Structure 1
Amino acid sequence: MKSLNILIVFVIAATFAHAQNKKYIKTMETSIPTIFQAESTESLDATANKFDRIGQAEESEWEPYYYAALSHVFKAFRIEDLQAKDKVLDQALVSLGKAGMLSENNSEIIALQGFINMIKIGVDPGTRGQTLSPKIMADFGKAMELAPNNPRTNLFMGQMLFGTAQFFGTGVEDACALVDKSMALFESEKPASSIAPSWGLYSAKQYKQQCESALAKKESQE
């Protein structure tokens, strides 16, 4: 009888956990698209706050804090004031830090961290270029080592190399090769789950156009 009672408790607990997991997945599936559909910074604030609440409720899940960070990143893109942009990016790093504590050596988290710091360079290129660039390259390098076929990591590295090449007036071939690779990877990407990161193709297409323009300009000058 005692064994039977233990088995019943186990079945009930497993059933409850499964129901909770289904609820979590469903909530995330309906929340993630709001990042890309947001029409204002206020909407992105609401989205980030919602993911924070989901993260607080689901203490072992890293995805809510990842998407909270991404919401802050998308907000930063819409802010022109550099100091305000910087504060939002700092918020993104805080959220991402919580995700990193729940999932170590996660290529998505590490890559997004490098991407956020890459944006932060633009706030003060003269001061931050030398200090943040090595950290960014280290993050992208580690992310690519962990997941060589992660399209976002390849795109971010391509963006970093493209910006560096433009700044120093050097060739963009290596950068554009990574952008091309990222596009191919986006097209064939099969996310690990319905809530796994799968964004970035739109940005890759934009950088593809920049690459074509830069390469065409170089050819015309030769």
Structure 2
Amino acid sequence: MNTLVKIAVTIIISVLASNIQAQTNFEKGMTKAFALWEEGKWDEAENMFERIAKAEDEQWLPNYYIAQINSLKSWNEKDEAILKAQLDKAQEHLDIALTKTEDNAELLIMQAQVLTNWVAFDGMKYGMKYGQKVSELYTKALKLDPKNPRAKFCKAEWDMGSAKYFGKDTEPYCEDIEASIELFDTFKAESEFHPNWGKERAEQVADECKK
């Protein structure tokens, strides 16, 4: 092996070792963030995701989970100033995540969730502003990833809520809820850190459909 080849091999091994180390650090950080979240330490988990996002600037998942945490914290929030701060932060990190990946159905779903937070807070004020956009986001997510159970379920639940709001029959959407559960049953997340939520909520809505 000549000197140039030896140098090339050394460089390749060094790069691979660096990537493996970075991946290991990413996995460790994500595992710790999820553990904190599961323990109910939402703020600590969010801080951990923020640190990971800064260290792993090509990874969209940490930004996604910062957005999700702030979206979830916003449900039933009555103080508009707190709500705005949370949803502005969610939007900020969604925007960052969208620069890191293209045609990502999960980010479109989360974007729709954030806008739904606004509608849930004040339907009269934000329903007309964001209602159509939410529907379009779910439709686009389903087009990008027809087998994504979250896209199927969230769109059905949104359509069901809209029908209920306008006094229309919600039963037609129950079939879509059941169809989403079938998708959940066969869905395999790309990794242990990729989005894999929604089945329990889908089953809950399906049970309500049967009453």
Fold-level match, TM-score > 0.5?
A: yes
Aligned partner of 1:27 in structure 2 is 29
Indicate the percent of aligned positions where both proteins have the same amino acid: 25
Aligned equivalent of 1:159, options 154, 157, 160:
157
- Counterpart position of 2:111: 113
Q: Distance in 1 between matches of 2:171 and 2:39?
A: 33
Equivalent position of 1:144 in the other structure: 142
The residue number in structure 1 matching 2:121 is: 123
Residues of 2 paired with 1:33 and 1:181: CA distance? 31
Once the two structures are TM-superposed, the CA of residue 204 in structure 1 deviates from its matched residue by 1.3
Residue number among 195, 198, 201 corresponding to 1:200 in the alignment: 198
| CA shift for structure 1 position 111 | 0.8
Worse-superposed segment, 2-11 or 77-86? 77-86
Query: Which residue pairs with 2:82 in the alignment?
Result: 84
Give the aligned partner of residue 3 of structure 1.
Answer: 5
CA distance in 2, matches of 1:57, 1:99: 14
Partner SS for 2:16: helix
State the shift of 1:134 in Å.
Answer: 1.2
Segments of structure 1 that go 5 or more residues without pairing to the other structure are 214-222
SS of equivalent to 2:210: helix
Deviates more, 1:169-178 or 1:119-128: 169-178
Shift, 1:26, TM fit: 3.0
Structure 1 Cα separation of the partners of residues 121 and 198 of structure 2: 22
Deviation per CA, 1:52-98, whole angstroms, max 9, x where unpaired? 11010001000010111111122223634344224312221111111
Distance verdict in 2 for CA 1:156–1:75, change over 3 Å: same
Equivalent-residue separation in structure 2 for 1:34 and 1:212 (angstroms): 36
Gaps of 5+ in 2: none
Q: Displaced runs of 4+ in structure 1, greater than 6 A?
A: none
Asked if the contact 1:48–1:69 (Cα under 8 Å) also holds between the matched residues in 2, the reply is no
- CA 1:202–1:36 in 2, change beyond 3 Å: closer, same or farther? farther
Q: What is the match of residue 219 of structure 1?
A: none
Deviation (angstroms), 1:195:
1.0
Aligned 8 A contact 2:33 2:46 in 1: no
Provide the C-alpha distance between the structure 1 equivalents of 2:174 and 2:84, rounded to a whole number of angstroms.
Answer: 28
Distance change (3 Å), C-alpha of 1:116 and 1:173:
same
SS at match of 1:169: coil
Render the CA deviation track for 1:144-186: whole Å, top value 9, x for unaligned: 0000111111111011111111111111123222211121211
Q: Provide the residue aligned with 1:94 in structure 2.
A: 92
Distance, in Å, in 1 between the alignment partners of 2:86 and 2:206 is 28
**Is the counterpart of residue 209 in structure 1 residue 196 in structure 2?**
no
Indicate the residue corresponding to 1:50 in structure 2: 48
The total of aligned residue pairs comes to 209
Superposed CA RMSD in Å reads: 1.7
